[in-house]
Amino acid sequence: MAGMVATAIYLVSRLLLTPLVLSYITLAEFGLWSMCFVILSYASMGAFGVNTTYIRYTARFHAQGRDAEVNRLLSTGVFMMLVFCILFGLGLFCSLPAILDGFHVAAQMQTTAGVMILGTAAVFGLDLTLGGFRSIVEGLQEIALVKKIYTAAALTEMVAIVFFLSQGAGVRGLLYAYIVRVSLETGACMLAARRLLPTLRVSPRLVSRDHARCLFVFGGKVQVLGGIAIFLSALDRMVISALIGLSAAGLFEVGRKFPFTAKSVSAAAFGPFLPAAANLESPLDNRGSGLWTDRLKTYLQVALLALCIALVPLAWMPAEVGLPPVVSWALTLLAGGGAFLLIRRMGSDFNERKQVPGGPLRGLYLDGLRHINLINMALFAFLAAVAEPLITAWVGTEYANVAGVMRLLSAGYLVQQSTGPVTLIFRGVDRCGRELEYLLVQLILALIWIPAGVFAYGLPGTAGAIAVGNAVAAVFLFWRSNRAFQVGLRDFAAHTLKPTLLPLALAAGVYALTRLWSCPQRAVAAVQVIVLGLGYMGLLLPLVWKLVLTADEKKHVLALNPFQRKERQPC
């Protein structure tokens, strides 16, 4: 709840702030500010695995009562990130003239641009170096506290932006406000970490080779997984731009905007799964799946299975873009047979070492999927239902034809987001190979199906390829995960999928109303979306309470009430 609320507040605040910022600075200066974070995004990828390592091993060490190990981990990470940030800063300083030239920064703006780029890099380096304190707090499973600090810092930054701009600071006011936000958030997280772990300290003497190995090995795994995921998220637009053109990519972005925003809100609920899994991990959970040769053999089988599945739809490709019918059907039958044999082989080869022992982890897996699927269906089913009036209200009737793209992407992101808790649980118990298998399937299907969808059906084909590819990869992940957690198909469906039927049924009713009540005017369409949204939530929440939630879940929901009187604990 804290994660989703914090993300929603941040998105709304940025949406409201942008027109105000543009009233004080030029469009070129605003573009310069965006360019700074494009550059920093490459540096942030270097810390992605490190932060995840902090979270996992803090939860693990704290559960084992080895808090002194947290000091060594943090000290090692701070030293490593300090070296990384210094090297990055020196490289950025030396390459600054080339960057300014490459981004075509006007001569009169180059001094300001240099200050902005190097200034944001310095502040960002501070955040990367000391951001481990924030990850330590997350590893101690104080997710809500981190989100409160994040929200307070973001709102303070918003106030600071208004103040500095009104004082005539120009685009540099955005940098000053960014300094305020990072300083406030970092300082508050340092204080919170020291309060939760009074023995926490950072010292060069605590730098450890063993903990550096943890940061490199486990962090490297997460880094590779994150790189694949980032590539997959940009692949659709790269293919569309290359095969159809920038205008088509822009049209696709219009249809993608709302589902992608909902995706970020949904993803904000994933935070607790990694530290919770690491905290619940038993010593047997690190048995792994055998030698690296066995794992390589498994990855090759997964890649071959994904390739066979990717070739199955060949027979249904349009004749003008496909192969001759006889060849297409022959390849389809051959690929289908190969996929069937590989599925049987991989199913029979699932031995005890590949299972995840422990009832608590199994409960986290099932309950996590249940709750996340309910959230996802509530968000994405409504977006799919109101696609036409929402697009009309946002950008006008001339873009109404992308409503189908928005609907397909909503379905694709719905399925993709359901896998988030699963992959984070596997990260928490250092079974990153499960996530790599899932990403391999998704990557191979995307590399084949997205270009084929663009050639055959244009933008709807692209969105359809994404939706179907995500669905196939998710089914594969759940098949493998259910075997690992010893969960039967009937229990899985009843516990995790059955709750989603209620929001799906209500969204179907909303869609029927949009077909009966057509609104070509933007203002009327906006009113329609608001009315339907309020009605949808007004029905969904009490029905979920009455028909879906268990007594234990209702107890947890009631505990969220800040005005509820707490019983005094006995001395």
At 246 the pLDDT is 67
Q: How many CA atoms lie within 13 A of 97 on its CB side?
A: 1
144-153, 216-225, 438-447, 534-543: least confidently modelled range: 216-225
110-124, 223-237, 460-474: least confidently modelled range: 223-237
What whole-number percentage of the chain has pLDDT above 90? Answer: 31
> Given the structure tokens 């200066």, which residue do they identify?
29
Question: Can you tell me the mean pLDDT for 469-478?
Answer: 93
Instruction: Determine the Cα–Cα distance for residues 423 and 52; give it in Å rounded to an integer.
Output: 13
For residue 453, what pLDDT band results from cuts at 50, 70 and 90? confident
Question: Can you tell me the mean pLDDT for 3-32?
Answer: 80
The domain locations on the chain are 2-198, 218-556
Q: Is the pLDDT of residue 231 over 80?
A: yes
At 248 the pLDDT is 79
At 571 the pLDDT is 38
Residue type, 41: S
Contacts of 309 (CB under 8 A, 6+ apart): 335, 339, 441, 445, 472
For residue 296, what pLDDT band results from cuts at 50, 70 and 90? confident
For residue 475, what pLDDT band results from cuts at 50, 70 and 90? very high
**Residue 90 corresponds to which tokens in the numbers above?**
């020196």
At 568 the pLDDT is 44
66-75, 170-179, 235-244, 400-409: least confidently modelled range: 235-244
Q: Is the pLDDT of residue 285 over 60?
A: no
How does pLDDT run across 68-123, given as a tens digit for each residue? 899 999 999 999 889 988 998 898 899 888 888 877 777 888 888 888 889 989 99
Q: Is the pLDDT of residue 147 over 60?
A: yes
How does pLDDT run across 542-570, given as a tens digit for each residue? 999 999 988 888 888 888 766 655 444 44
Q: Is the pLDDT of residue 319 over 70?
A: no
Q: Is the pLDDT of residue 235 over 70?
A: yes
Question: Can you tell me the mean pLDDT for 156-168?
Answer: 91
More confident residue, 348 or 472: 472
* Burial (0-12, 13-18, 19+ Cβ within 10 Å), 169: middle
Check if the beta carbon of residue 292 is closer than 8 Å to that of residue 161. no
Query: Of the candidates 288, 438, 298, which has an alpha carbon nearest to the alpha carbon of residue 354?
Result: 288
At 290 the pLDDT is 54
More confident residue, 315 or 337: 337
* Burial (0-12, 13-18, 19+ Cβ within 10 Å), 361: buried
Q: Is the pLDDT of residue 38 over 90?
A: no
18-27, 285-294, 340-349: least confidently modelled range: 285-294
How far is CA 86 from each of CA 89, 121, 128, rounded to the nearest angstrom? 5, 10, 11
Question: Can you tell me the mean pLDDT for 284-291?
Answer: 51
At 323 the pLDDT is 67
